[in-house]
Structures are given as structure tokens and as C-alpha cells.
Structure 1
Amino acid sequence: MLKILLTRKELEWLVLHLKEKGERRLEDVLVEMHREMEKERGKAQVWKPTLESIEESPVVQNVHVVV
């Protein structure tokens, strides 16, 4: 058993493509759908810093010396 969570827009796209290309397998249409989603995500991606690009400030320890 396989469950797939789709948005309404994705479901409409899937149904449309299944109707247009009637002899294609569902698997092929889902692969195409995944490629389209990846393209859209690639266009909308924003810059996110990596850990290497975030400078850390040095940690200063307070030491109290009692004489």
C-alpha cells in the first residue's frame, strides 16, 4: 500500500496529465511531476547560510581570582 499526499494543485496537474497521456503509467507521470516540482523549488529557493558562513564570536570566560 502506498499513500501520497498531494495539494489540490498537484492533484489537478496529475489528473490532467493522466487524461492527456492515457497510455502512460502512473509511475511515469509521478516522476515527471516530481521533476516539475523540483524545477519550481529551484526557482523559488532563497539563500540560506551554511554553518561555515556564520562567524562565531569568541567565548570569553570570566574568571574570578580570590587571593
Structure 2
Amino acid sequence: MSLIEKIYVLGYSESQRRFCTETLDITLAKNLSAFLNGRHVDYIPLAIASTLSELHEIRTRLATERNYRIYDPQE
């Protein structure tokens, strides 16, 4: 596993009002594909972290600051 696969990115979609957590390699691949194909990217990167738990703490703090309910598909 490369370093880029061990870094997590917290993204946010203003239109969907949802957070997204992915590894940096996936985020970059999706953004590069969108750029090359002239597609709009809705998710903006807000934070990076080395662990999912750290990123989830950041997500919770940001959601609280904007008064958003966090969508968790596993709920």
C-alpha cells in the first residue's frame, strides 16, 4: 500500500449536503477523470487525515459548526 492510499480525504457536496470520505488516491483519480472529461466536480476537499477516526472527528466538528446532520449510510 502506497502512502497516497493511506491518507484519507473528507469531501463535502454543497448540492447534496453530504460529506464523503475517501482515500487520497481515489479522490485524485475522480477529480482527474472529471477534469479530463470536462465534468463538474461537486465534492470539495475539506480536510485530510492519516486515520478514519481522526477524519470522522473533523467531520463531526465541521457538521456541528454548520449545524448539519451527518448522513451515515450505515445507520
Name the TM tier (shorter chain): 0.3 to 0.5
Higher helix share: 1
More strand by share: 2
| Rg (Cα) greater in structure | 1
Using the size of structure 2 for normalisation, the TM-score is 0.32
Query: What TM-score, normalized by structure 1, do the two folds share?
Result: 0.35
Using CA pairs below 8 Å that are at least 6 residues apart, which structure has the higher relative contact order?
2
